[in-house]
Chains A and B, each alone.
Chain A
Amino acid sequence: MERLIFILPVILFAGLAAFLGFGLTQDPKSLPSQLIDRPLPAFVLPGIAAQDGGGAGFASASFRGEPRLLNIWASWCAACPQEHPVLERIAAEGFPVYGIAWKDKPADSRMWLARYGNPYAGVAADEAGRTAIDLGVTGVPETFIVDKRGRVRFKQIGPISPEVWEGQIRPLMQQLRAEA
């Protein structure tokens, strides 16, 4: 019995080592979104037009009836030009992509879209970054997949590569279209 006390440290340590070893197999950078299978947080955002108030943007309530992509980007974002051709392709394939320009001046957003082309069905401005906080945005670009009932179903952190689009997101979008 008394010997057991002396063996205890090595047993506890073995357990710890197992956990640490398991921890090594995990990617510390993968951060699952808390929003998965939850409704898109409510927002009403202005657009980026050169007029007072920025013109019409869109609201979270409009995300109903069809599955959509909600892309968070910015004119100052270095990875966004890299993702841009993929977004154009997604739009060309007939899937609606909506964009939120995060912490960006509307004039800069407009210039960026004029330079690269506009794949978005609608663009809204989140200059103060409040909506991005509700969405749990950790950086740009990020893309949320929202289903017919306005629930977030998937979150892509970082640019969508052609492989991610073909392998993951397009099949998901097709499945979401088929859902009731």
Chain B
Amino acid sequence: MLAEIGHFALILALLVAAAQAILPMIGAARGDAALMAFGRSAAGLQAILIILSFGCLMILFGQSDFSVALVANHSALSQPLPYRLAATWGNHEGSMLLWVLVLSIYGTGIAHFGDNLRATLQARVLSVQAMISVAFLSFALFTSNPFARLIPAPLDGTELNPLLQDPGIVFHPPLLYLGYVGFSVTFSFAVAALMEGRADPAWARWMRPWVLAAWVPLTCGIALGSFWAYYELGWGGWWFWDPVENASFMPWLLGTALLHSAIVTEKRGSLAGWTILLSILAFSLSLIGTFLVRSGILTSVHAFAVDPERGVYILAMIICSTGTALALFAARAPMLRSGAMFGSVSRESGLTLNNLLLMALTAVVFLGTFYPVIMEAVSPTNKISVGPPYYNLVFAPLVIPLLILVTVGPVLAWKRDDLRRVGGKLWVPAVLVLVLLAGLTAQMGTAKAASALGLAVGAWLILGAVLVLARRWRGANGFSWRLVRTTPAATIGLVLAHAGLGVTAAGISAMGAFSAEKILVMRPGETVQAGPLSVTMIGVGEVDGANYRALRAQFTVTQYGSPATLFSERRLYTVSGNQTTEAGINPRLLGNQYIAIGDTQADARGPGLVVRIYWHPLVGWIWFGGLMMAMGGTASLADRRFRIGAPQVRVPLALSPLAPAIVPAE
């Protein structure tokens, strides 16, 4: 019964979304307040229906109702309850339902928090949101119905992929989806602005919280995914340049660019066309990310629902949405007149450079990700894959200037500045960092100069962030508590995010320079030295978990005189027969001790266990930096100026309205 209720609610939601796609748009064109208001109520209704539908599916998973095909295929009785519930989105159909759920929640957000929005803009945004909603709801209903029945019902299901039975996976997809889908809001804002023919500072101010609302969970989701891969896949890598990782990274890069370009549009009225283009592209890349995962066009560890028919549907969706939006952009954007001019040394030009570098980075990742597809089209027998060497070679030279710029940007003045003044503000940290760089290079040798540079840049970012705060607190008349208390949340956001980026950069560089690994066959009682670690295998035994059996090895790890005990497991999930590795990790401030066990194998001295020992210096900083960036975004989101009414356009700053037929009198 629940399955039918859920299915029915989903169908109703599709109908509501269809109405919401059409009526508010007509209302905005005619200036009909009632039709425009309908958009707000429809958004709420649609969200309620989809929440109902999602709730039904979740209860079905909770009850282990194997008469529903999806439950039978992704859940087993022996699976612990949290993973039975998380299985709701640990599969294709359920994750699509999560997609539309998040989409509808953002929709109500626009309806609810949009009180200070121009009514026509809000109506158009809601209408575009609903169009996306219609596309995804019909995709879910027609090609991947989560409520399809399975008759006769089996007595037990096939379990969720054991790799996904992990606390990380409970949060990773919802966070990523909050990010991906969040960019649908900025996409809708961009399309609505193109329709209205105006993208002014007020528009940018309305949109920017939504950029943050998407960017923050996306940052968390990527960091969490990277962390999950690190401890679950059992070989200690934290980023693989896998096509699907790239698919989440590209919207993040563009989202970061968008965050910054929207500041320029908000404060100075410039770069409006560029901001719109970024909004369109960020969401398009999110869609393409979905396409990559679902279509099987590229083989990837994430491709859990490979189906060309779905691929065709998603591709059609991408062509309709992105194609239409870009065509609209081509037609309308030249009419958006940009605001104030700015000098070649100014905050605006700094942010423009930031945008260009981020765009170039996105292009690099994009090319690497799609090169195999393009090559195959050019010469069909040429199957290639693009790996880390490409990215390391091309990514680093672009990212270093960007990181250096991050500290320079906030000291630049708006509109016009000169290099001497900037130099005067930055020479102290610059000298400190150069001394650090020289010291590190001398210490580590020129072979590791790239890592030394990375560490120095990390220090430059953290120092720069601290300086922003110091300058704010010192003020013209020296330090005062009043200045500390009144620091805007946005400034704190900037400081946290930039420092977080520095922490991440330092972590990545340290991993590149100082990590150590050793792979060998060990027997209980043996001790080996791996980098700075001294590892003794204490014993091996079998343990039983809820739905798995495991081989568990105990180790004592000694580093700088302090011993620690680590357990490493190799699990066999009995229902599916899948094996997973649970590495033993001892996380510390300065690095992680990491031990994973493999098969039993014989070497010259008899049978033993394959053991991989790693020393990962500062690796935790990579994710902690990500968390800091997300906290920075959250702080910025809390800034007061987003809650007070946006200033209405101070006349000619922005754009000449288009034909009155398109923009009704307000």
A-side residues, CB < 8 A to B, are 2-3, 6-7, 9-10, 13-14, 16-17, 19-24, 26, 28-29, 31-32
Structural contact, B297 and A9, CB atoms closer than 8 A: no
- CA A6 to CA B319, docked complex, whole Å: 18
Residues A19 and B377 in contact in the complex (CB < 8 Å), given A6-B330, A9-B330, A29-B299:
yes
Partner among A9, A19, A28, A31 whose Cβ is within 8 Å of the Cβ of B326: A9
Find chain B residues with CB under 8 A from A28 CB.
296-299, 306
> Could you write out 30 A-B pairs with CB less than 8 Å apart?
A3-B330, A6-B273, A6-B329, A6-B330, A9-B280, A9-B281, A9-B329, A10-B326, A10-B327, A13-B322, A17-B315, A19-B373, A19-B374, A20-B288, A20-B315, A20-B373, A21-B315, A22-B373, A23-B297, A23-B373, A24-B295, A24-B297, A24-B308, A24-B315, A26-B297, A28-B296, A28-B298, A31-B383, A32-B381, A32-B383
B291 touches A (CB below 8 Å)? yes
Contact assessment for B329 and A26 in the assembled complex, using a CB-CB cutoff below 8 Å: no
Distance between B520 CB and nearest chain A CB, rounded to angstroms? 16
Within the assembled complex, what's the spacing in Å between the Cα atoms of A16 and B334? Answer: 23
With A6-B334, A9-B329, A20-B373 already in contact, 11 other A-B pairs whose C-beta atoms are closer than 8 Å:
A6-B330, A13-B323, A13-B326, A16-B370, A20-B297, A20-B315, A21-B315, A22-B377, A23-B376, A24-B312, A32-B381
Complex CA–CA separation, A123 to B583 (angstroms): 39
The chain B residue sitting closest to A25, CB to CB, is B308
Q: Which residue of A lies closest to B335 (CB)?
A: A6
Residues of A within 8 A of B333 (CB): 6
A26 to B379, CA, bound (A): 12
A15 nearest CB across to chain B (Å): 9
B129 to chain A, nearest CB (A): 21
> Could you say which residues of chain A place their CB within 8 Å of the CB of B330?
3, 6-7, 9-10
* Chain B residues within 8 Å of A, Cβ to Cβ: 273, 277, 280-281, 284, 288, 291, 295-299, 306, 308, 311-312, 315, 318-319, 322-323, 326-327, 329-330, 333-334, 370, 373-374, 376-377, 380-381, 383
List of B residues within 8 angstroms of A22 by Cβ = 373, 377
Across-interface contacts of A21 in B (CB, < 8 A): 315
> B323 contacts which of A6, A14, A24 (Cβ < 8 Å)?
A14
Neighbouring A residues of B308 by C-beta, 8 Å? 24
Interfacial chain A residues near B281, Cβ < 8 Å: 9
**Bound CA span A6–B280, Å:** 13
Chain B's closest residue to A31 (CB) is B383
| Closest chain A CB from B300 CB (angstroms) | 9
Chain B residue at minimal CB-CB distance from A14: B323
Distance (whole angstroms) from the CB of B364 to the closest CB of chain A: 16
Contacts of B374 in A (CB 8 A): 19
- Which of A7, A14, A20: most chain B CB closer than 10 A? A20
| Distance to closest chain B CB from A155 (angstroms) | 13
B329 touches A10 (CB 8 A): yes
B27 to chain A, nearest CB (A): 28
CB-based nearest A residue for B382? A32
- Chain A residues, CB < 8 A from B299: 28-29
Contact residues in B for A2 (Cβ distance below 8 Å) = 334
Give CA–CA (A147, B436) in the complex, Å: 63
Closest 10 pairs between A and B when the two form their complex, measured CB to CB:
A10-B326, A23-B373, A23-B297, A7-B330, A22-B377, A28-B299, A6-B330, A9-B326, A6-B333, A24-B311
Residues of A within 8 A of B376 (CB): 23, 26
In the complex, how many angstroms separate the beta carbon of A152 from the nearest chain B beta carbon? 15
A104 CA to B392 CA, complexed, in Å: 39
CA distance A16 to B280 in the complex (A): 15
- Chain A residues with Cβ below 8 Å from B288 are 20
